[in-house]
Amino acid sequence: MSGTLDVIVRMVLTLALAMASASMLVWVERRLLAAFQDRYGPNRVGPFGLLQLVADSIKLFTKEDWTPPFADRVPFILAPTIIVATGLLSFAVVPFTAAGALVDLNIGVLYFLALSSLSVYSIMLAGMASNSKYSLLGAVRAAGQMISYELAMGLSVASVVALAGSFNLREIVAAQEGLPYVVLQPVAFLIFLIAGLAESKRSPFDLPEAENEIVAGYHTEYSSMKFAFFFLGEYLALVLFSSIATALFLGGGNGPWLPTIVWFAIKMAAIIYVFIWVRATFPRVRYDRLMAFGWKILVPVAILNLLVTGALVVARSAGG
Amino acid sequence: MTVLFYASAAVATVASLLAVTRTQALHALLYLVLALFAVALCFLSLGAPFLAALEVIVYAGAIMVLILFVMMMLNLGPESWARERHLLPRHAWLVPAIMASALVLLTLFAVLSAPQQATQAASVGPKAVGVALFSTYLIGVELASVLLLVGLVGAYYLGAKK
List, as one string, the DSSP characters of A21-44: HHHHHHHHHHHHHHHHTT---S-S
Q: Do A110 and B53 touch (CB under 8 A)?
A: yes
Q: Cα–Cα distance between A174 and A168 in angstroms, integer?
A: 10
Q: Cα–Cα distance between B99 and A19 in angstroms, integer?
A: 51
List chain B residues with CB under 8 Å of A72: 24, 26
List chain B residues with CB under 8 Å of A105: 49
Q: Do B65 and A124 touch (CB under 8 A)?
A: yes
pLDDT value for A197: 87
Question: Is the preceding peptide bond at A204 cis, omega within 30 degrees of 0?
Answer: yes
Cα A219 to Cα A82, A130, A196, A318, B66: the distances in Å are 14, 8, 20, 53, 21
List chain B residues with CB under 8 Å of A136: 72
Q: What digits encode the pLDDT tens for the residues A171-186?
A: 888 888 878 888 888 8
Q: What digits encode the pLDDT tens for the residues A27-78?
A: 888 888 888 888 887 877 778 878 888 888 888 888 887 778 777 788 888 8
pLDDT value for A27: 85
C-alpha distance from A202 to closest chain B C-alpha (Å): 21
Q: Cα–Cα distance between A273 and A38 in angstroms, integer?
A: 17
List chain A residues with CB under 8 Å of B30: 75, 125
Q: Do B69 and A124 touch (CB under 8 A)?
A: yes
pLDDT value for B142: 92
The set of residues, in sequence order, having a beta carbon less than 8 Å from that of A134 and lying 6+ positions away, is: A214, A215, A216, A217, A220
pLDDT value for A92: 84
User: Which of A117, A121, A124 is the closest to B72 by Cβ?
Assistant: A124
Cα A21 to Cα A239, A242, B105: the distances in Å are 7, 12, 54
- Quote the longest CA-to-CA distance of chain B: 59
Nearest C-alpha neighbor of A180 from the set A263, A260, A249: A249
User: Which of A75, A114, A136 is the closest to B57 by Cβ?
Assistant: A114
Quote ipTM for the complex: 0.78
Q: How many CB atoms lie within 10 A of CB B138?
A: 11
> Would you say residue A156 has pLDDT above 80?
yes
Q: Cα–Cα distance between A138 and A144 in angstroms, integer?
A: 10
Cα A248 to Cα A44, A67, A117, A264, B140: the distances in Å are 39, 41, 18, 12, 32
The CB-side HSE value for B113 (13 A sphere, CA atoms) comes to 6
List chain A residues with CB under 8 Å of B73: 140
State whether residue B42 sits within 8 Å of chain A by CB.
Answer: no
State whether residue B63 sits within 8 Å of chain A by CB.
Answer: no
The set of residues, in sequence order, having a beta carbon less than 8 Å from that of A54 and lying 6+ positions away, is: A45, A46
Nearest C-alpha neighbor of A41 from the set A55, A53, A54, A27: A27
Which of B32, B57, B73, B76 to substitute to test the interface with A, most A CBs within 10 Å? B57
pTM (two decimals): 0.82
Cα A140 → chain centroid: 20
Q: Cα–Cα distance between A127 and A281 in angstroms, integer?
A: 29
List chain B residues with CB under 8 Å of A140: 69, 72-73
CB-neighbour burial class of residue A179 (10 A; exposed 0-12, middle 13-18, buried 19+): exposed
Residues of A with CB under 8 A from a CB of B: 72, 74-75, 105-107, 110-111, 113-114, 117-118, 120-121, 124-125, 127-129, 136, 139-140, 143-144, 147, 150, 167
Which of A74, A115, A120 to substitute to test the interface with B, most B CBs within 10 Å? A120
CB A238 within 8 A of CB A22: yes
Q: How many CB atoms lie within 10 A of CB A101?
A: 23
Torsion on CA atoms A202, A207, A212, A214, rounded to nearest 10: -120
Q: Cα–Cα distance between A29 and B128 in angstroms, integer?
A: 45
Confidence of residue A223 (pLDDT cuts 50, 70, 90): confident
The set of residues, in sequence order, having a beta carbon less than 8 Å from that of A55 and lying 6+ positions away, is: A45
Q: Cα–Cα distance between A299 and A318 in angstroms, integer?
A: 28
Q: Do B49 and A144 touch (CB under 8 A)?
A: no
Instruction: Name the residue with higher pLDDT: B117 or A298.
Output: A298
Across chain B, the runs of DSSP E, i.e. the strands, are none
List chain A residues with CB under 8 Å of B49: 105-107
pLDDT value for A253: 74
User: Which of B27, B30, B126 is the closest to A167 by Cβ?
Assistant: B126
Amino acid letter for position A317: S
State whether residue B129 sits within 8 Å of chain A by CB.
Answer: no
Terminal Cα distance for chain B, rounded: 54
C-alpha distance from A285 to closest chain B C-alpha (Å): 22
Q: What digits encode the pLDDT tens for the residues B76-117?
A: 667 777 777 777 777 777 888 899 899 989 988 888 887 766
C-alpha distance from A114 to closest chain B C-alpha (Å): 5
CB A146 within 8 A of CB A197: no
